Amino acid sequence: MLAVAVLAAGKGTRMKSDLPKVLQPLAGATLVERVLASCRSLRPERQLLIVGHQAERVEASLSAWGGLEFVLQQPQNGTGHAVQQLLEPLADFDGELLVLNGDVPLLREQTIADLLQRHRASGAAVTLLTARLTDPTGYGRVFADAEGQVSAIVEHRDCSEAQRRNTLINAGIYCFDWRRLAAVLPQLRSDNDQGELYLTDSVAMLSPAMHVEVADADEINGINDRLQLAQCEAVIQDRLRCHWMREGVTFVDPGSCTLSDGTRFGRDVVVEPQCHFRGDSVIGDGCRIGPGSLIDNARLADRVEVVYSVVRQATVAEGCAIGPFAQLRPGAELEADCRVGNFVEIKNSHIGSGSKVNHLSYIGDADLGTAVKPWRSAAPASW
């Protein structure tokens, strides 16, 4: 039996934000959504989310997420205190408890699956994920022997100078034998720099306690401030771009473009510099996007060209050309081979195939037929 508990009750003081930390967005999903997604494939029997600071807001943000049990931690007296709140809901539970910090959003599903498998194979009381960092500042340091057996975790702020030189850090991801953890949880003490109950102190009370080092230290980046938020965003963006380049998308200047998890690209798409894709956008085969365009929850069929334009919640059929400097707003529907030119805004309108809206126009709540084009007067030959 497997239960997963995500610690999401903290305020996130270091973010200096009105938004609870776990609701900060990262490439279009919140931190807590990413953490929950990272263990979905394990199909846990129980999924518990520990909420506290702005609990209602955190709960409301996850209303579409099925099967979650919300457990209130009030006040928030540390990660150990957070897990103590599980003693009641998990009173009859027997099995493994996977504890995930709600601010560690880059973990791969496979890494968590491997941790669980190693834990089950060794029969340890707890197995935790660690990493070696060149700059371990801020993280808890893990003291372990050559066999991977952990004797203690000491928080950065509680470390001596000598202890700080240890570069093996605690990722905040643990697999516990729940019964054995439950037996020691009441013994946690708050004799540390923050005066809080630390979950990390339970590790020294459990034996054997083992650790598994991650190969890719980027995965365990914890987010405590906006700098770390930006670093994680960069890692996710890099992963997404690499994925799509391997799938056959050309990025002329990859680092200048941002993507979302939900965006899908066909083959032979060319993305010019400074393009941004948001939400569940779909880009068909052979499209050419950019430079300088924003595609937000839009559907583009094959061979669409977009230059310096914004396309938001709009549908564009094959062979259309958009821009430069056009805006397609929600509900704009273009049939095949339309042309939308400079300084044109289209909202909630249907444009028939082959039609042209070449310049300086607003089209709203309208229905244009097929092959609608600018009226040509009998212009002098010199025009």
Place of tokens 């709140």: 85
Rounded to the nearest whole angstrom, what is the least distance from the CB of residue 4 to ligand UD1 in the complex? 14
Nearer to Mg ion, 122 or 224 (CB): 224
Site residues (CB under 6 A) for ligand UD1, limited to 208-247: 222, 224
139 binds ligand UD1 (CB under 6 A): yes
Q: What is the DSSP letter of 324?
A: S
Q: Is 82 in the site for ligand UD1 (CB under 6 A)?
A: yes
Residue choice 34, 81, 276, 350 for contact with ligand UD1 (CB under 6 A)? 81
**Distance separating alpha carbons of residues 45 and 266, to the nearest angstrom:** 37
76 belongs to the binding site for Mg ion (CB under 5 A) = no
Count of residues of this chain found to bind ligand UD1 when the rule CB under 6 A is applied: 32
Please tell me whether residue 206 binds ligand UD1 under the rule CB under 6 A: no
Q: Does 140 bind Mg ion (CB under 5 A)?
A: no
Which one of Mg ion, ligand UD1, none interacts with residue 153, CB within 5 to 8 A by kind? Answer: ligand UD1
- List 198, 251, 265, 308, residue binding ligand UD1 (CB under 6 A): 198
Which among 205-213, 216-224, 225-233, 366-374 is the span making contact with Mg ion, rule CB under 5 A?
A: 216-224
Answer with the entry of ligand UD1, Mg ion, none that 297 interacts with (C-beta below 5 to 8 A by kind): none
Min CB(213)–ligand UD1 separation in Å = 14
Asked if 103 is part of the footprint of Mg ion (rule: CB under 5 A), the reply reads: yes
Q: Which residues share a beta bridge with 101? A: 7
What number of H helices and E strands is found in the chain?
Answer: 8, 29
Amino acid at 365: D
> Does the footprint of Mg ion cover residue 224 (CB under 5 A)?
yes
Q: Residues 4, 23, 50, 304: which binds ligand UD1 (CB under 6 A)?
A: 50
Burial of residue 1 (number of CB atoms within 10 Å: 0-12, 13-18, 19+): exposed
Q: What is the DSSP string of 235-287?
A: HHHHHHHHHHHHTT-EESSGGG-B--TT-EE-TT-EE-SSEEEESS-EE-TT-
154 binds, among Mg ion, ligand UD1, none (CB under 5 to 8 A by kind): none
User: By CB under 6 A, is residue 7 in contact with ligand UD1?
Assistant: yes
Rule CB under 6 A: is residue 30 a binding residue for ligand UD1? no
**What CA–CA distance (Å, rounded) separates 17 from 110?**
32
Nearer to ligand UD1, 44 or 105 (CB): 105
Q: Closest Cα partner for 288 from 274, 304, 302? A: 304
In the complex with Mg ion, the residue whose CB is nearer, 225 or 302, is: 225
Q: Does 222 contact Mg ion by CB under 5 A?
A: yes
Which of 15, 30, 78, 112 is the binder for ligand UD1 (CB under 6 A)?
Answer: 78
Backbone angles phi, psi at 142, to 5 degrees: -105, 125
The secondary structure of 29-50 as a DSSP string is: EEHHHHHHHTTGGG--SEEEEE
- Looking at 79-87, 100-108, 254-262, 310-318, which segment touches Mg ion (CB under 5 A)? 100-108
Partner from Mg ion, ligand UD1, none contacting 199, C-beta within 5 to 8 A by type: ligand UD1
- Rounded distance between C-alpha atoms, residue 66 and residue 47, angstroms: 10
- Restricted to residues 158-177, the positions that interact with Mg ion (CB under 5 A) are none
Q: Which is nearer to Mg ion, 166 or 224 (CB)?
A: 224
Helix (H) or strand (E) holding 119: helix 109-122
Interaction residues for ligand UD1, span 148-187 (CB under 6 A): 153, 155, 169-172
Q: Tokens 């938004």, residue?
A: 19
Q: Would residue 359 show up in a list of annotated catalytic residues for this protein?
A: yes
Q: Is the peptide bond before 75 cis (omega within 30 degrees of 0)?
A: yes
Which residues are CB-contacts of 322 (< 8 A; sequence separation ≥ 6)? 304, 305, 306, 307, 309, 311, 316, 328, 340
Q: Give residues with Cβ within 8 angstroms of 108, minimum separation 6.
A: 38, 216, 219
Distance separating alpha carbons of residues 203 and 263, to the nearest angstrom: 41
Q: Which residue is nearest to Mg ion (CB)?
A: 222
Residues at the interface with ligand UD1 (CB under 6 A): 7-10, 21-22, 50, 52, 73, 76-79, 81-82, 101-104, 139-140, 153, 155, 169-172, 198-200, 222, 224
Residues at the interface with Mg ion (CB under 5 A): 103, 222, 224
Active site residues: 359
